[in-house]
Structure formats: C-alpha cells, structure tokens
Structure 1
C-alpha cells in the first residue's frame, strides 16, 4: 500500500497510478451483481448499533 501512494523518498505521490485490479472488477460486476446480497440475522430484528457488520466488534 505504501508503495502505491508514496515515492521512494517518502513523499506522497501527486499523480494518478493505474490499477491492475480495477479492470477485472469492472468486468465481473454485471455478471455477479444479480447474485450479491446481504443476509442479516433472521431478517426480523436488526440491531444497527449492536450487530457486528464488517468487524468482530459492533459500531
């Protein structure tokens, strides 16, 4: 990550670097989008602040 956003001398880069991953993500998005969704508990009760979403601890 550091190499992507900083020069060898430690300064932040001030230009755009192309991504090698993004073209593959853009290609696969229309194929995968219909099959991607969220499963939240049993769907009856959702505790936004107490449920764990993307980490092992709640918000």
Structure 2
C-alpha cells in the first residue's frame, strides 16, 4: 500500500512539473521572447528536507 501511495505521489508530481513546464516553454516561444534559434533550459530539483539537488540541462532547437 505504501508503495502505491508513493507511486501516486510521484506521478502527480511528474504531471504537475511536466504540464506547467511545457506551458511555460510554449508561452515564451509563442510570445517571441527567445533570443536566437535555440532555447537553453535548466531545471533544478531541490528537496528542502533531504540531500537532493539534481540539475537537468537541455537545449531545444526551434528551427
């Protein structure tokens, strides 16, 4: 049961982060706020009560 709760919480977090991130990326592209033909992204995941500090960097080619 505890594993199912954990899995559910992770899925909810993944959805919230993924959906809001996608919306913000689409917004800045749509509004023409990206300089150049690439969007360079960095997402940092930090836990306030655990030793977690994870960075993901990605570049999206907009051409």
How does the TM-score come out when normalised to structure 2? 0.25
Name the structure where helix makes up a greater proportion of residues: 2
Higher-strand-fraction structure: 2
Which structure would you say has the larger Rg?
Answer: 1
Where relative contact order (Cα < 8 A, 6+ residues apart) is larger, the structure is 2
